Structure 1
Amino acid sequence: MRRVVVGATGTPGNLSALHRAAAEARVRGAVMLAVLAWQPPGGGLGSRHGLGPSALAECRAAAVERLREVLDTAFGAVHPGVALTGLTVRGTPGAALVDVAREAEDLLVVGAGSRTVLRRLVRPSVARYCFAHADCPVLAVPPSPLQADLESVHRRNVWRVRLDLRELTP
């Protein structure tokens, strides 16, 4: 069965990827698989040295609940129009997505958000990891143009820059 695998994080840029994945699944007659990758506090080392089975079970349950929230935010009462399955995977996002989308006929959809120098240093790009390691086609979805406007307004508010009303009129 054909599958469209998409990462699920709940960020505004990720919502665009979820909707694009649903559209691709409809066109291809495929099943959509939303994947949320999770790690215990402290990563792999933290789970070996400090967390017991009950704490790991709580982390897993929190990841499942987070995935439900993400899908509810993305699609709400409107069904995406395709068979949708959610999956939580313990691991880093890139590795988890590549591992799930292991068939050559799968399509892996990832968000390709803006990557500032600071973000590249702090967090590696999931899209780049998927491009380098996936055995199936990878579709990188750019963020919505409205996302740039939202970030601009946020920066304006943080720096308390006054809004020039002439900017609002075309």
Structure 2
Amino acid sequence: MGRVVVGVHGTEASRRALQRAATIARERGWGLEVVTAWPEADEALIHDVPGHYNAARGRAMRWQADAVAALDPSLLPRLSTYLVNARPAEALVARSADADLLVVGTAASTDAPDLPGVSGTCCREARCPTDVVADPRASRRRDRGKAPRARSRQAPNRVTHDAP
């Protein structure tokens, strides 16, 4: 059975990525792995201390729980969740090691040759094809009918989609 990994962190872009990943998992009969890393990419890396509350971990747990609650219940038997204390890109690249597809969202325009941030790092370093789902508000493309396309010499397996 195949496996699709998706990064979720509470933004509209990650919700759209989860929708795309869930659709792929359902259509192909694959497992769905939801990964939420904390702290966020722009926060200081703070490791979890057992027995102490950590606000970053609490936010990540809430984001992941909300995301999973929104999924089609038919996916639950094939669903795995991971709450990881690591940089988001590092966590996603590590989970992609034996995955068939990694799906990430981006608030950036996918028209740029190289994406910034977590999505860009995943495109360059993931060990499987990476599907980048763009938030349509960020896309500069006017032609929504364009087919998804492979992009970037640095990330030849990158495919981008404008989310509906």
Q: TM-score range by the shorter chain?
A: 0.5 to 0.7
For 2:120 and 2:59, the matched residues in 1 are separated by: 27
Compute the RMSD of aligned alpha carbons. Answer: 2.8
Contact 1:6/1:34 (<8 A) preserved: yes
Identity %: 35
Letter in 2 for 1:43: A
Quote the offset at 1:71 in angstroms: 2.4
For 1:128 and 1:62, the matched residues in 2 are separated by: 24
Q: How many residues align?
A: 130
Contact 2:104/2:133 (<8 A) preserved: yes
Q: Structure 1 unaligned runs (5+)? A: 116-123, 149-170
Quote the offset at 1:60 in angstroms: 4.2
Residue of structure 1 in register with 2:119 after alignment: 127
2:51 to 51, 54, 71: 54
Q: Residues 52 and 12 (structure 1 numbering): CA distance in 2 closer, same or farther, change over 3 Å?
A: closer
Residue of structure 2 in register with 1:99 after alignment: 94
> Higher RCO, 1 or 2 (CA under 8 Å, sep at least 6)?
1
For 2:60 and 2:134, the matched residues in 1 are separated by: 25
- Give the secondary-structure state (helix, strand or coil) at the position aligned to 1:43: coil
Tell me which structure has the larger Cα radius of gyration: 1
- Relative to its length, the structure with more helix (as a share) is 1
1:16 aligns with 2:10: no
1:65 aligns with 2:56: no
1:27 aligns with 2:27: yes
For 1:80 and 1:12, the matched residues in 2 are separated by: 23
1:138 to 110, 121, 130: 130
TM value normalised by structure 2: 0.66
TM value normalised by structure 1: 0.64
- Relative to its length, the structure with more strand (as a share) is 2
Q: Structure 2 unaligned runs (5+)? A: 110-115, 139-164
Quote the offset at 1:112 in angstroms: 2.4
